[in-house]
Amino acid sequence: MGVYDINGGGEQKPQQQVNIDLNQATDVQCSNCGNRFFHEVTFFKKISALLSPTGQEGILPIPTYACLECGNINDEFLPSKRQQLND
């Protein structure tokens, strides 16, 4: 089984510097317990050989965030929800 890079492995584009006042930003809270602290976790998707760019079965690691207090993953952090938000 292969492991695929979901970032595309292409060239990194230079980041444009933007000044943001974080006092005006909204804190993200756990949708289950209201906690504001999260840690990065990874879940994995199996990719069939038919869908794989290499023609071989593989595993796709997907990083996301879980609540530090209760372990909940907000819906907005799930890849399917992120995709819908970007459409």
Task: Tell me the average pLDDT across 10-25.
Answer: 78
* pLDDT over 80 (residue 40): yes
Flag whether 81 is in a domain.
yes
Bridge partners for 45 per DSSP: 60
The count of domains in the chain is 1
Return the pLDDT at 4: 47
Residue 72 lies in domain: 30-87
Dihedral through CA 44, CA 49, CA 55, CA 58, nearest 10?
20
Flag whether 8 is in a domain.
no
Average pLDDT score, the chain: 83
pTM above 0.85, yes or no: no
Q: How confident is the model at residue 15 (pLDDT cuts 50, 70, 90)?
A: confident
Flag whether 5 is in a domain.
no
40, containing H or E segment: strand 38-47
Write the pLDDT tens digit of every residue in 44-85.
999 999 988 889 999 999 999 999 999 999 999 998 755 544
Separation between Cα atoms, residue 86 and residue 19, nearest integer Å? 23
